[in-house]
Amino acid sequence: MQRTLVLIKPDGVQRGLVGEIIRRLERRGLKLIAMKMMQVPREQASRHYAEHQGKAFYEGLLGFITSGPIVAMIWEGREAVTVVRSLMGSTDPLKAQPGTIRGDLALDLGMNLIHGSDSPARAESEIALFFSAAEFHEYERTIDQWIRE
């Protein structure tokens, strides 16, 4: 099973969409193995967005992700990275398909509600940035027999 990091950004928390976003991930069959609400310190945000350092929008990214609480989660499932990315929709909500989180719930590129890792390798590093191994919860779900062969 693959794991991926999902962050519900400050706009998602402020708009009361945490439950709706979690519902969509659960309904798809993904398994939640870690979750916490937190305020992201600037230093941690800088590491998370390091690939964008030097770009015109970098400071705005840092300012936004540190502006309020987020909900950080680890989801597990078959091809979890790809599944989460398809559920999220395009980064630009105006280009996101209806039925996706961003396509249904967002309007602005800067307020796009959710972050999901873009590759399995990136998921590993992002998970390590937001969670310790002690925060993972390994458990069996009886419904898994109805989700995967």
CA 136-137-138 angle, 5° bins: 115
Q: Cα separation of 57 and 8, whole Å?
A: 20
For helices 80-88 and 18-28, what crossing angle results, to 10°? 130
Task: Identify residue 69 by its one-letter amino acid code.
Answer: P
Task: Establish whether 115 is a catalytic residue.
Answer: yes
Distances in whole angstroms, Cα of residue 39 to Cα of each of 7, 27, 67, 68, 101 = 12, 27, 8, 6, 22
Which residue has tokens 């909900």?
71
Q: Spot the catalytic one: 48, 52, 115, 137.
A: 115
- Active-site residues: which are they? 115
